[in-house]
Amino acid sequence: MDARDKQLLRSLRLELCTEVLVDGVVIQYLYQEGILTDSHVQEIKSQTTTQRKTMMLLDILPTRGPKAFDVFLDSLQEFPWVKDKLMVKRKEMTVQGPAGKAEI
């Protein structure tokens, strides 16, 4: 996962924790696509609240390779508003660049 996507997940962390329920389709899709291992799924499911489960996923995702962010976006089928928000913010970060200056 590139630095921009890691920063995006970090900046929207609390918002994602309140809007995304990872217990269902999200972690199963990430597991199916090879982003999460069986032990990751068990670790996420062992968390006591839905927010903690989402935080655990957000801790794991940045370490799971270059496809992790795009597959995470694909996993958000039940949360199209979250996917749209992430894609808009990602595009804004690309246009602005990490220092807030327009990139050429």
The domain in which residue 69 lies consists of 3-86
Q: If pLDDT is split at 50, 70 and 90, which confidence band does 93 have? A: confident
Specify if 99 maps to a domain: no
pLDDT, tens digit (0-9, with 9 covering 90-100), for 69-84: 999 999 999 999 999 9
- pTM for the whole structure: 0.86
What does the DSSP 8-state code read for residue 2? Answer: -
pLDDT surpassing 70 at residue 97:
no
Query: Which CATH number does the domain housing residue 82 bear?
Result: 1.10.533.10
Nearest-angstrom CA–CA distance, 88 and 83 = 9
Specify if 97 maps to a domain: no
pLDDT, tens digit (0-9, with 9 covering 90-100), for 34-69: 999 999 999 999 999 999 999 999 999 999 999 999
Specify if 24 maps to a domain: yes
Specify if 52 maps to a domain: yes
pLDDT surpassing 70 at residue 98:
no
CB 16 within 8 A of CB 9: yes
Specify if 29 maps to a domain: yes
- Number of domains observed in the structure of the chain: 1
Specify if 102 maps to a domain: no
Task: Mention every residue, 6+ apart, whose C-beta is less than 8 A from residue 79.
Answer: 19, 20
pLDDT, tens digit (0-9, with 9 covering 90-100), for 22-31: 988 999 999 9
Q: What's the token pair of residue 12? A: 């929207």
Specify if 16 maps to a domain: yes
